[in-house]
Amino acid sequence: MNYFVIGYYALLIGASCLAAYYSSRSAFLLLFSLTLVSFIVGIVGGESALWTITVCAGVLALCAGTAYAFREFLVIVLPVEASKAIKTAPLTATFGLFVIMTYAIAGVFAPIIAPHGEAEIIAGAFEPPNDEMLLGADQLGRDLFSRLVFGARNTVGIALLATILAFVLGALMGLIAATRGGWFDQLMGRVVDVIMSVPSLIFALLLLSIFGTNVVVLIIIIAIIYSPRVFRLTRAVAGNVVVMDYIEAARLRGEGLWYLIRREILPNSTAPLIAEFGLEFCFVFLLVAGLSFLGLGIQPPTADWGSMVRENATLISFGEITPLFPAGAIALLTVAVNFVVDWMLFRSSGLKG
Amino acid sequence: MTDVLGIVLKRLGLGVLTLLVISILIFFAVELLPGDIAQAVLGQGATEENLKAMREQLGLNEPAVWRYLQWLAGAIQGDFGSSLISQKPVTETIAPRFANTLFLASYAAVIAVPVAIILGVIVALLRESIFDRVANVTTLTSISSPEFFLGYILILYLAVKNPWFPAIASLSDDMTFLELLNRTFLPALTMVLVVVAHMMRMTRASIINLLASPYIEMARLKGTPAWKVIVKHALPNAWAPIINVVALNLAYLITGVVLVEVVFVYPGIGQLLVDSVTKRDFPVVQACCLIFAATFILLNLAADVGAILTNPRLRHPK
Amino acid sequence: MAAKEKDVLLKIRDLRIEGYSDEKWLEIVHGVDLTLHRGEVMGLIGESGAGKSTIGLAAMGFARDGCRISAGSIEFDGMELTTTSEADRRALRGSRIAYVAQSAAASFNPAHKIIDQHTEAPIHYRIRKRLEAQEDAMELYERLRLPNPQDIGFRYPHQVSGGQLQRAMTAMAMACRPDLIIFDEPTTALDVTTQIEVLAAIRDIVEQFNTAAIYITHDLAVVAQMADTIKVLLKGNEVEEADTETMLSNPKEDYTKSLWAVRSFKRAQKPRPGGDATPVVSVQNVSASYGDTPVLHDVSFDIYAGMTVAVVGESGSGKSTTARCITGLLPPTSGKIVMNGVEMPPSYKSRTKEQLRQAQMIYQMADTALNPKVRICDIIGRPAEFYMGLKGGKLKSRVDELLDLIELEPSKYYSRYPPELSGGQKQRIGIARALAAEPNFIICDEVTSALDQLVAEGILKLLDRLQKELNLAYMFITHDLATVRSIADEVLVMKQGEVVEQGAKEEMFTPPHHPYTDLLLSSVPEMDPNWLTTVLEERGVDNIGEAAAT
């Protein structure tokens, strides 16, 4: 027993008591169960496990703090209506927004932010971090931090393009199918069923083996694989709008397909479609990262997070966490987008009821 | 019961039809190659003679439809032709690896399914509480992480820093079953983490959906005790959604296995597929894709049939 | 029924209930008092959102998820429900207080047989053994006049019709012979001819066992038959309470008066134009089907300019389908639609702009009839722009003119969105949109049934004025006979896709009728508290089931 362990438990138990005293039930439950878990983990894993928990808690607190500060910032900066919505947003959502904004800045201003070039070799292989290199060098002696920053542009950019393409394709078909109905609807439904009955990663691998791996092919293939999901959702959302009497009124007026889609259906389907765009982006992003990790996606020397994990994977067996940075960068962005989407879905379902 | 049988048969027929369409898709996708297979395999520098010999060997001079029928007939009997690289029969390469993959997937499923469903039900019952929110954030994080991220974290903490499990899941024939379980623990755990998160969320959603139905409120208003509401009123109607959740996630396991096998250098079908794609060994790629697709369709089919069989409205027709 | 002398069963004081929305708790019931004596039936009446169901459930010590009882006391037979343990409260439910839900089809568990659900509570509370409980269930089924009382319980809920399920649910509520039953809109989802059976069954059984009841509904005529006292609610507040007779004859508050206001508006019947006048719309021998199911059989009628034809019938009678055939949404399988002497192409898709313009439609639910994301001026302006090619200033002045026509201030409503409007205002916008096309024929599909009496009357008056000014022909689809009486010139009675009877209004409302018309007319509840008793006497109590079946 040293001071750290004693302090650790004292803090937790003290905080639990405070929570109980102020009868804040959920905080108490959380703190006390954490104390209990710590007892078990502490006995099994010793002091180092407690340190890990402390570090995790610290990181979480930091994230929560950032999210809180960012929320206050947004409330002040944004116009009245948007800030009203942001005010009630959970911290997870504002944290997500913060991360997305950071990534966007990193992606757009990559050449300015990165201290070194994307493919510039400046040191020996796997050189440890120093003043020059924040995170050390990779297997060829390139600056890992610079490559991470450029990766934000490449990996996210490609995923974004593919998602947009998939979305335009899928949403358009979905809207037309819902509005026109009949044989077109039936046919598209069947085609989508078939495409979706092949796992997406497998389908991507099959097509990549045939068409080879270059960026344009990659984007098109992913767009084709993912557009059926968008189609299904759009079809379902638009299907709910199409049965409304105002659509019938517009049809009976003699309005054309485009007017119906553009003026009547689309304005009433945007909320779920935007949320779906976020989800879809996560899927696509993970697929792009996965393919690159397998060596079949974005090709070197372009900096890309998936292939960076693969290239530096051997370091893991020496206990280095270097390969976890690009992997973590991928995870962080998907988590962030998911948090925001979760909040948006909650809002759209909550406002309906 | 005849109604149900009819619906099930119809669904099965649809499954077979889908598989047939997919086999066409997989076979003719390769036909889309710029040039043809021989050209693609031998590269730009190939001489006319070599190309000709290869075309002869692969039977490329026959019409594509004929070759498709031959391929399909072979595939049904378990013969997928031979590899372009090693010249060995594809089936011989795939069979043991497919068995390995199935082992890994079932290993993960045996742990994940009960854990996820129990946790999902608990979280659904505790909805809106702090535990529910923590679970929501945790599962969302787990879903969002790529499999290789989780895999490498596990390697770092459970294999390198604390050498409890082997980092590389290589297999040998003379292993005991326990040893096998130990060797494959980390890849299985990686998949468990992702699948449990998915399944928990889906179970939670379907249970909450179920608990919101008027007949559950009616049961509570009849004074039925809480446990009985769950066991007698919710559970009989929960089978369909739960079966659906399980099948969908098993299908997800099948895809997720590719990345995990590569991370842990596990000799499964996923790694074989990735290798073959890199080497452009088309017969192997086609065979792997067909097997993955068939498994996927089979699981979805099982979900649908399960849902049909447990639906009281269909079980007791008017 | 001098309930006052009997002892008090339920006493609610200053009940406040909060609902959770937008991350806040908002009060939805603001301090309601309620006293119910043994054997007394109290009607709770109000619009949706008045808090009727919430109060009904609170009487069982129950709050739905997302709701909580924040203050007040609920005393049931001397027991304070807000402070006792959940276990004690639960022990009351099903045994001493029972609940009958609005939708029996959704409230029976699809996985179990009806009788098993019926006997659950008595077995649980050890009031009866299984076999006894089943015997008792069959007896209750018989008392509630369910067909085949011995067998019906052994079916699954989806194998039994809606009206029968609702009675089975009432039987289930009676299983433990409770002191109090909460009826939550038990007949709202039913057709009028089924409703009357269920009402009669409920009233009888409640009287037989001298059970107290809270009867929740929005239908005044129904509550007048069932309740001894009536309490009127508005947005979570009590408006007033009195015994049924007093409440009907002499309401105090303005809001109640507005609810009670019997349609004062009645228009004289216009005769058919004689001689060789061409009907605006002529439906000739139209039959139609959905897929392979025939839904309309040989329907024929004419509508002349300036006339209103009311089409009445229950759900599934083919009223709306007829409208869909006229507009061309559902091309008839045989027969033809002729407008102003010109035969229309069967499908709306092959009709010309000019042909489409002639017939316009006004819908029942103004909420779904107006696109919530489009401004009022664009909703009304679009037909004028589309058909007349109006643009810019001309379009604006036309929209202003139309808004004036429907008695809405143009400057105030011009650039608003539909969700900002009240139900009646939305319905007026729907009318303006139809008028913008300058049609000579308008189909009104249950346009007043989603509205309050007063608002509905305003709409009817407006439609009548417009008819006079613009010489419009109306096809008025409705199930409400009061509406028919006030606005129709001719009436068409439909049943199962066929026209049962048609003729001028005055003829239709004076006997003798076709038996179905008679059944339909007599099944519509009237405000008179003795209506149900009288009707049942006329029909003979045991015959109501058969009468409905024929």
Ordered structural domains, chain C, with CATH? 8-260 (3.40.50.300), 281-512 (3.40.50.300)
pLDDT band at A72 (very low <50, low <70, confident <90, very high): confident
Higher local confidence (pLDDT), B215 or B54: B215
Q: Is residue B86 part of a domain?
A: no
Average pLDDT over residues C214-225: 85
Report the percent of chain B where pLDDT is more than 90.
6
A194–B297 CB contact, under 8 Å:
no
A252–C368 CB contact, under 8 Å:
no
pLDDT band at C94 (very low <50, low <70, confident <90, very high): confident
pLDDT tops 70 at residue A349: no
Average pLDDT over residues C276-295: 87
Q: Give the model's pLDDT for residue C31.
A: 84
HEC profile of chain A? CCHHHHHHHHHHHHHHHHHHHCCCHHHHHHHHHHHHHHHHHHHHHHHHHHHHHHHHHHHHHHHHHHHHHHHHHHHHHCCHHHHHHHHCCCHHHHHHHHHHHHHHHHHHCHHHHCCCCCCCECCCCCCCCCCCCCCCECCCCEEHHHHHHHHHHHHHHHHHHHHHHHHHHHHHHHHHHHHHCHHHHHHHHHHHHHHHCCCHHHHHHHHHHHHCCCHHHHHHHHHHHHHHHHHHHHHHHHHHHHCCHHHHHHHHHCCCHHHHHHHHHHHHCHHHHHHHHHHHHHHHHHHHHHHHHCCCCCCCCCCCHHHHHHHHHHHHHHCCCCCHHHHHHHHHHHHHHHHHHHHHHHHHHHHHC
Q: Which residues of C56-68 are buried (b: 16+ CB within 10 A; e: fewer)?
A: bbbbbbbbeeebe
pLDDT tops 50 at residue C5: no
Element spanning C391, H or E = none
Contact B183, B169 (CB under 8 A): yes
Distance between CA atoms of residues C326 and C340, nearest Å = 13
The alpha carbon of residue B8 is apart from the nearest alpha carbon of chain C, in Å, by: 20
Residues of C in contact with B220 (CB under 8 A): 62, 93
Contact B298, A197 (CB under 8 A): no
pLDDT band at C262 (very low <50, low <70, confident <90, very high): low
Q: Is residue B186 part of a domain?
A: yes
Whether C1 has its CB under 8 Å from any CB of chain A: the answer is no
Domain count, chain B: 1
| DSSP secondary structure string for all residues of C232-257 | EEETTEEEEEEEHHHHHH---SHHHH
The alpha carbon of residue A253 is apart from the nearest alpha carbon of chain C, in Å, by: 6
pLDDT tops 50 at residue C549: no
The alpha carbon of residue B243 is apart from the nearest alpha carbon of chain C, in Å, by: 16
Tens of pLDDT, residues C141-189: 888 888 888 888 888 888 888 888 888 888 898 888 888 999 988 887 7
Q: Is residue B140 part of a domain?
A: yes
Distance between CA atoms of residues C391 and C413, nearest Å = 19
Q: C126 φ, ψ to 5°? A: 55, 35
- Closest Cα to residue C176, out of C126, C106, C105? C126
Q: Is residue B69 part of a domain?
A: no
Q: Give the model's pLDDT for residue B209.
A: 84
Average pLDDT over residues C260-269: 68
pLDDT band at C322 (very low <50, low <70, confident <90, very high): very high
pLDDT band at C6 (very low <50, low <70, confident <90, very high): low
Residues of B in contact with A27 (CB under 8 A): 130
Contact C280, C480 (CB under 8 A): no
pLDDT tops 50 at residue C467: yes
Residues of A in contact with B259 (CB under 8 A): 201, 290, 293-294
pLDDT tops 70 at residue B190: yes
A252–C371 CB contact, under 8 Å:
no
Residue with tokens 């054997």: C39
Range of the domain at B164: 96-273
Residue with tokens 């639906």: B311
Q: Give the model's pLDDT for residue A353.
A: 31
Q: Does the interface ipTM go beyond 0.90?
A: no
Test the B interface: residue of A63, A205, A317 with most B CBs within 10 Å: A205
pLDDT tops 70 at residue C546: no
Distance between CA atoms of residues B292 and B173, nearest Å = 25
Q: State the burial class of residue C240 (Cβ atoms within 10 Å of its Cβ: 0-12, 13-18, 19+).
A: middle
Q: What is the CATH number of the domain that holds B162?
A: 1.10.3720.10
Distance between CA atoms of residues C180 and C173, nearest Å = 9
Residue with tokens 């004690």: C88
Query: 3-class DSSP state for residue C89?
Result: helix
pLDDT tops 50 at residue C548: no
Contact C75, C240 (CB under 8 A): no
Higher local confidence (pLDDT), C134 or B38: C134
Chains that touch B (3 or more CB pairs under 8 A): A, C
* Token reading at C283: 């439906």
Distance between CA atoms of residues B79 and B81, nearest Å = 6
* Token reading at A94: 């504002």
> What CATH number labels A151-348?
1.10.3720.10
Contact C361, A252 (CB under 8 A): yes
pLDDT tops 80 at residue A300: no
Test the A interface: residue of C329, C370, C371, C431 with most A CBs within 10 Å: C371
Distance between CA atoms of residues C550 and C538, nearest Å = 17
- Closest Cα to residue A295, out of B277, B190, B34? B277
Residues of C in contact with A245 (CB under 8 A): 363, 365, 368-369
Lowest mean pLDDT among A238-252, C6-20, C324-338, C525-539: C525-539
pLDDT tops 60 at residue C4: no
Query: 3-class DSSP state for residue C394?
Result: helix
pLDDT tops 90 at residue A163: yes
Q: Is residue B152 part of a domain?
A: yes
pLDDT tops 60 at residue C428: yes
Distance between CA atoms of residues C266 and C308, nearest Å = 13
pLDDT band at B44 (very low <50, low <70, confident <90, very high): low
pLDDT tops 70 at residue B250: yes
pLDDT band at A21 (very low <50, low <70, confident <90, very high): confident
Distance between CA atoms of residues C504 and C481, nearest Å = 14
Stated pTM of the model: 0.84
Contact A335, B141 (CB under 8 A): yes
Q: Give the model's pLDDT for residue A100.
A: 92
Residues of C in contact with B237 (CB under 8 A): 109-111
pLDDT tops 80 at residue B7: yes
Distance between CA atoms of residues C501 and C11, nearest Å = 51
- Closest Cα to residue C505, out of C519, C490, C523? C490
Higher local confidence (pLDDT), B14 or C273: B14
pLDDT band at A351 (very low <50, low <70, confident <90, very high): very low
Nearest chain B residue to A323 by CA distance is: B152
Name the residue among A88, A251, A353 with its Cβ closest to that of C348: A251
Tens of pLDDT, residues C289-320: 888 888 888 999 999 988 999 998 887 788 88
Chains that touch C (3 or more CB pairs under 8 A): A, B
Tens of pLDDT, residues C23-62: 678 888 888 888 888 888 898 888 777 788 888 888 888 8
Contact B236, C111 (CB under 8 A): yes
Average pLDDT over residues A265-282: 88
Residues of A in contact with C49 (CB under 8 A): none
pLDDT tops 60 at residue C543: no
CA C339, C345, C347, C353 torsion: positive or negative? negative
Q: Give the model's pLDDT for residue C2.
A: 46
Nearest chain B residue to A280 by CA distance is: B144
pLDDT band at A265 (very low <50, low <70, confident <90, very high): very high
Contact A23, A11 (CB under 8 A): no
C373–A248 CB contact, under 8 Å:
no
Tens of pLDDT, residues C378-395: 999 999 999 988 888 899
pLDDT tops 60 at residue C542: no
* Token reading at A193: 């069923």
pLDDT tops 50 at residue C550: no
Higher local confidence (pLDDT), C455 or A171: A171
Q: What is the mean pLDDT of chain C?
A: 85
Report the percent of chain C where pLDDT is more than 90.
19
* Token reading at B181: 């379980």
pLDDT tops 50 at residue C3: no
Nearest chain C residue to A265 by CA distance is: C371
DSSP C328: T
